[in-house]
Structure 1
Amino acid sequence: MSTSDTKDLRIPARYYARVADLLLRDGVDVDDLLRPLGLDLGTLSQPGATLPLYQVDLMVQAGVQMTGRRDLGFELGKSLKLSSHDIVGYGILSSPNVDYALRLVSRFFRLIMPSFQARYRRDQRHMEFTFQAVAATSQVCLDVHLEALASAAHFEIRELMQGQMPDYALYLSLSEPAHVQRYQELREARCHFIPSVPPEVRFVFPASAGDKALALADDVALKAAEERCRSMVQRALNRQDVSGWVRMMLREARHGMPSMDEMAHTLNMSPRSLDRYLQREGAGYRALLQQVRHERAQRLLLNSGTSITQIALELGYTDAANFTRAFRKIEGVSPSVFRTRST
């Protein structure tokens, strides 16, 4: 990951102010940690402050290295409350039931953690809620965030249910961590550590859990919170060109390229609205996808020893033959010839 590739993706700083608090508690000189990153505690604590993803990555790596704590993500998640998530948290608390609250989170999750997307679905038997990584980071940073999402969501849903959480299944895209005993604190969870592609955290509850009424339900407050969330998403889109944001997300997508529907979901808009934004900027999703896919193909061919088949799968092609045809159409030569000529 390079700083230029991720400079447009900014993460709310409030979560890393909490990380700094945890590091201070462990005796870390946080000023020494933050200074080389061009940060200080005052910056992290400013209302509405954001950090570029690469800066988040460096801070998390330094924090883990200085403390030796691989459970930093779990502890971070446990320390968060619904009120930690600003207006989205207010909307969650004002929702009529758990089902509505999780739908609201999936709609506005980019205001909480734009390097992940949240998905929610419910059928007659199950209620499934998933956080999926959509931007590349170091493995250390990814693991910390996966564990933070797992523990935060557990304790926050438990709070919503007033402690009456049913037993459920929790799947994390991690190898079993050395601190696996900490997961006993998630009393209702049956934890499964299974590395997977793409990286995600998935909760599977019985469908009936969604009907649990919330103690602070308030229709007027909920409408106000949702309107403010929509306004914040719109302002975020207006501050930057949408085609540039889409290009960056495609460039940093993990394990395959998102469809237009998936990208629209991440942006909390309909595919038609995304298409309209892109057309207004003289861009199209298919053209952006083709351009970024080819750029990534060139980079992988030049800078890694990855096989042609693995690169094809990484870019979302069904097999190496389809990748070779698409690459030759643009470049004029096959991927293997391109790699040989460039070495």
Structure 2
Amino acid sequence: MDVPVQQSAFQDRAGDHSVVLAAAAHGAVDFITARGGDPERVAAVAGVDLRQLEIPTDPIDLRGYCGLFEEAARQTGEDNFGLWYGQQFEPHMLGLIGFIALASPTLGEAAKNLAHYFPLHQSGTRTRLFTRDGLLHLEYQIVDGRIVNRRQDAELTMGMFVNLFRHCLGRTWSPEEVHLEHAAPQAPEEHEHAFHAPIFFGRGSNRLVFRNDQLDRPMPGADPQLLSLLRATLTRVAQTTQLAFKDRLTGEIRTHLAAGEVKFPDIAAALRMSQSALLRRLEDENIGFAKLVEQVRREQARAYLAQRHIAVSEIALLLGYSEISAFSRAFKRWEGISPNHYRAMALGD
């Protein structure tokens, strides 16, 4: 079964910040508690009202949602919190988008529907299903540039996606590869154990890579009438966002930075603009492209340095510097201190 490029084409229509339907946090309170955390304290730091999680179709701020899992990892001391939360998260727990996938006629259609409708379940997000070199790629990215810390979200979402395939093909199913856009964590061997597949960190996006030889397998709960109803319902309750140009631009810079370099033509193409149109837009909004790239590097450097296990030399490479000395000079210009000094202060050493 050959699957063409499949990408969300929904138009943003309301709101000024990215949101996700509360079903995405199903069971989060119990999971935090089971890991020795205090859900109230975690939510307070993340800026999330736990009452928001009670109605599956209610929208919650996406930055707060990501922060909830980042803070849960910090407070519980479970660095791979999002990984294990996602592994136990079954498709029906996702609410409308999960039931859309489950009601699809085949696994292939379920994957297409997941990619196509996911940005209605979670705005400020890009999802794609496409074929490359004979393999299928189910890709997921947050494109809201204001959300810096999102490692836990990436890992839990990949777990949610894998469990859709396992629902149809059995618990032993595994993808060919799993790609994650963040740096390798402290215990990356846990990821290979969870996904039963090779894991590649520091990639340009989060994605599952898998063969297409079983996509015609019928979904156990296929229901055409229910599928039609669920699609209409999700479209009606969704609150997609119109991201400000600078936030979307920042998001694309952050995405390309994860791949090691940021090139103006690539950013223009990602924004579906010509280079000349992007230049005019930057001038109109008084945005300096090079300055914005440096700002994103600075934010990402701070986030990486707050993680003890990532070597400064690796951070330099992740931010697109060919030499650690160049990164160190840039960081000292930004913060007035060396990366090692900043890390010691951030970690309380």
Same fold (TM over 0.5): yes
2:184 is aligned, of 176, 187, 209, to 176
CA–CA separation in structure 2 for the residues paired with 1:165 and 1:301: 40
Aligned residue in 2 for 1:19: 28
Q: Is the 8 A contact 2:121 2:234 kept in 1?
A: no
Name the one with the larger helix percent.
1
What corresponds to 2:221 in structure 1?
216
Determine whether 1:133 maps to 2:142: yes
1:153 pairs with 2:158: no
2-structure distance, mates of 1:176, 1:289: 36
- Is 1:231 paired with 2:230? no
**2:92 partner letter:** S
- Counterpart residue number, 2:131: 122
For the aligned residue pairs, the C-alpha RMSD in angstroms reads: 3.7
Distance 1:69 1:214 in 2: 34
Q: Hey, what does 1:8 align to over in structure 2?
A: 17
Which of 36, 47, 55 matches 1:46? 55
Aligned to 1:249: 248
Number of matched pairs: 273
Aligned to 1:207: 212
Q: What is aligned with 1:194? A: 201
Counterpart code for 1:190: A
Gaps of 5+ in 1: 1-5, 265-270, 272-284, 307-343
Residues 49-73 of structure 1: CA deviation (Å, up to 9, x unaligned): 3232333344333222211111111
Q: Amino acid of the residue matched to residue 48 of structure 1?
A: T
Aligned to 2:287: 295
Deviation at 1:162, TM superposition (A): 3.6
Q: Partner of 1:51: helix, strand, or coil?
A: strand
CA distance in 2, matches of 1:304, 1:130: 22
Distance 1:108 1:304 in 2: 29
Deviation at 1:115, TM superposition (A): 4.0
- For residues 46 and 174 of structure 2, the distance between their equivalents in structure 1, rounded to whole angstroms, comes to 43
Give the letter aligned to residue 194 of structure 1.
F
- Name the SS for the 1:32 alignment partner: helix
Go from structure 1 to structure 2 and tell me whether the alpha carbon gap of 1:53 and 1:224 turns closer, same or farther (over 3 Å shift): closer
- Residues 96 and 213 in structure 1, CA contact (< 8 A), matched pair in contact too: yes
Counterpart-to-counterpart distance in 2, 1:120 and 1:26 = 34
CA shift in 2, pair 1:144/1:210, >3 Å: same
Query: Percentage identity across aligned positions?
Result: 15
- CA shift digits 1:169-210 (9 cap, x unpaired): 2222344333333234446x42232312x3x22222222122
Higher relative contact order (CA 8 A, sep 6+): 2
Question: What TM-score results when the alignment is normalised by the length of structure 1?
Answer: 0.66
Opposite residue 109 of structure 1, the aligned amino acid is: F
Q: Assess if the C-alpha contact under 8 Å between 1:10 and 1:52 holds in 2.
A: yes
Structure 2: gaps of 5 or more residues? 1-14, 257-261, 299-349
After TM superposition, the structure 1 = structure 2 runs for residues 102-117 of structure 1, keeping only pairs within 5 Å, are 102-117=111-126
Write the distance in 2 (CA, Å) between the matches of 1:300 and 1:246: 13
> Counterparts of 1:51 and 1:35 in 2: how far apart (Å)?
14
Q: Which moved more, 1:200-209 or 1:50-59?
A: 50-59
Which of these two proteins has the greater Rg computed from alpha carbons? 1
Q: In 2, distance between residues paired with 1:25 and 1:89?
A: 24
Aligned partner letter, 1:224: L
Is 1:96 aligned to residue 105 of structure 2?
Answer: yes
Contact 1:7 1:54 in 2 (8 A): no
